[in-house]
Structure 1
C-alpha cells in the first residue's frame, strides 16, 4: 500500500511546529531586506557612538610630595590623560599656569592638582565664601602655629602690647586656616605667619589690627 503525502489541509505536528518557529513571512525577500537595512543602521550607530572609555582629558598631577608654602617649579607637575568623568571638579591642566603657585596644604605624589589646592581666590572662596579675602597674621606666640593645620577653623584675637591696653578682644570668628609656612630658618625670628581666609570686612579689620596689636588664635 502506497503512503500518500500529507495534505496541506491536514499538516503534521512537525509542520505545525516549523510554522510557529519559522513563519512564511520570515522567508520573504522584503523581510530579509528590512532586516539587512536594520543591521546596517545599528552598525553605523555603533561606529558613531563615542566610546566613554576613550574620552580623556589632560590633567595635572604632582610628580613628588609637595610641601605647603613652597612655590611650584616645572619639575613638580606633569600632564597625564585621565578619563574625563573620573577627574575631580576644578582639575587643572596647564603646567604654565601653576608655575610659581603655592600649595595651600601638603600634596602627595600622584595627586591631581585642583583649583582649591593652590593659593588663590578659589581657595579663599571655598573656605570663607564668595567675598572671602586671605590675610596674613603674625602670631605673637609662634608655638601656636605648630598646633594648627590648614583647614582648621580659628578665632583671631588681638591685644595691645602694653600692659595698660584694653583687654584681648575677638577680631574675627570662624577664620579658616589656609596656609602655615615653615618656621623661619634663622633663630629668634619674630612670631610665625599664618594665612587665614575671612569675609572681606573681617579680613580688613584683622589686617588693620595686625599693624598695632599682638595677634593670636583660638582653635574650635
Structure 2
C-alpha cells in the first residue's frame, strides 16, 4: 500500500523565482496592452504618393514653369485620378484656373504648348500649303520654306515667286486624308492650313502674301 506524501513547501529561492516569473508575466501583459492602446490611438501612417500642386494661384492658359509647381506627399486614397507626378508638369498649359495648393491633373492641363521651346517673341501663323501632296511629308517639327506667287499688276497673271519665309518649323499640320475631299480627292477650294513658328517680321510678310503662298518641304 502506497503512502501519501505531503508536498514540501517551497523554499526561499523557489519563492523568489516564482515572484520574478509573475512580475515578468505581468510586465509582458502590460506592455502588450499598452501596444494595443498605442496602435488604437495612433494607427500606422497611411500610404502616400508624391504629386504636384500649384505653388500659387494660376490663370487659365498659363504655361507651367518650375516655380509654379510644388512637390508634396498626399495620402494615397486622396490623390485624384490623373494626378501629375514630379517631373511631369513643366511646360504644360493650364486648361483652367487653379488655386494655390490644388493638385494638378491631366484634366487640368493640355500638355506642352505648341510654342514650348521656341525663342522668345516667336509667333504662330497659318500658311496655306498650296499643294495637297506636300501634306504627306509634313509632321510637327518639319522644316519648310514658304514661297509667295507674284502676279502681273495689269494682267493678274503669275510672273514668278518670292521666298517670304526660310527654314521655319511646322508646329501642327492636318493629315492629307483629313484635308482631302470625297474619296480622298483634294478639294477644289483653298488648301489646308499649316501652323508654323516665325518671327514678327516674317509673320507680317506671310499675312501680306495670304492666298498666294506655296509651302516647300526642306530635306532633313
Which TM-score tier does this pair reach, normalised by the shorter chain? 0.3 to 0.5
Task: State TM-score, norm by structure 2.
Answer: 0.48
Q: Which has the larger Rg?
A: 2
Higher helix share: 1
